[in-house]
Amino acid sequence: MTGGAAATVLGLLAARGESLAVAESLTGGMIAAELTSVPGASRVFRGSVTAYASEVKRSVLGVDGALLAERGAVDAEVARQMAAGVRRLLGADWGVSTTGVAGPDPQDGQPVGTVHVAVAGPGGTTSGLRLGLDGDRAGIRSESVQAALERLLGELIENERTQDTEQNGGS
C-alpha cells in the first residue's frame, strides 16, 4: 500500500531525532499499522489514538466540544485539533490525524469520500488537507492513509527547508 511513504517518513524523523503520534477516525488504526509494519518504527513512533467516536475526540484528544456540536466530526478544524491533541497527549514532535466519511452513508451532512487530514508540527503549527475521494469504503480508507502519510512527508520536507534557510541566514 504505502510502505514506501511510511518508511521515508520514519527515516526522516529518525535522522532528525523527532517523534510521531497519530490520531485516526475513519482510518481506524490503519496509519499506525502501516507505520509499525516498518522495521525500526519504535525509534520514532510513539503511538496512536483511534478516536472513532466524537466523545473520544473531545475527551481524549481535546477537540472543542462546541465545534463538534456545531460542525460535526468531519471538519478541517476538528482534524487540526485532533493532530495537535495527539501530539500533546503522547508527547510527540509531530502529530497526524484523519477524520471523514468512508461510507456507505453520508455523515454530519458530508458526502461519502469527504476526508480531512491534518499535520501538527513543532511549535504548534498545523496544516490541513481536504480530500474528495471516490470508491468503496476500503478504497477511501486506503487512500486516506496514503494521503495522510504523503501530507506528513511534505510537511517534514518543508520544515527541513525552513530550518535550513533559517540556519543559513536566508534563501
What is the structure's pLDDT at 2? Answer: 45
The per-residue pLDDT for 3 is: 64
Q: 11: left (phi > 0), else alpha (psi -120 to 50), else beta? A: alpha
Q: What's the pLDDT at 159?
A: 81
Are 72 and 111 in contact by the 8 Å Cβ rule? The answer is no
Contacts 24+ apart (CB under 8 A), 87-91: 87/21, 87/120, 88/62, 89/21, 89/49, 89/60, 89/61, 89/62, 90/21, 90/46, 90/47, 90/49, 91/19, 91/21, 91/46
Task: Per residue of the chain (171 residues), give pLDDT as tens.
Answer: 446 999 999 999 999 999 999 999 999 999 999 999 999 999 999 999 999 999 999 999 999 999 999 999 999 999 999 999 999 999 999 999 999 999 999 998 999 999 999 999 998 888 999 999 999 999 999 999 999 999 999 999 988 777 665 555 554
Q: What is the pLDDT of residue 98?
A: 98
- Residue 149 has a pLDDT of 98
Residue 54 half-sphere exposure, CB side, CA atoms within 13 Å?
16
CATH of residue 113's domain is 3.90.950.20
Instruction: Find the domain containing 162 and state its range.
Output: 3-167
Q: Which pTM was predicted?
A: 0.93
Helix (H) or strand (E) segment spanning residue 110? none
Rg of the Cα trace of the chain?
A: 15
How many structural domains does the chain have?
1
Cα–Cα dist 158/42, whole Å:
24
Residue keyed to cell 527541513: 160
CB contact at 8 A, 36 and 21: no
What is the rounded CA–CA span in Å between residue 65 and residue 95?
Answer: 20
Beta-sheet pairing, 114-120 with 126-132: antiparallel
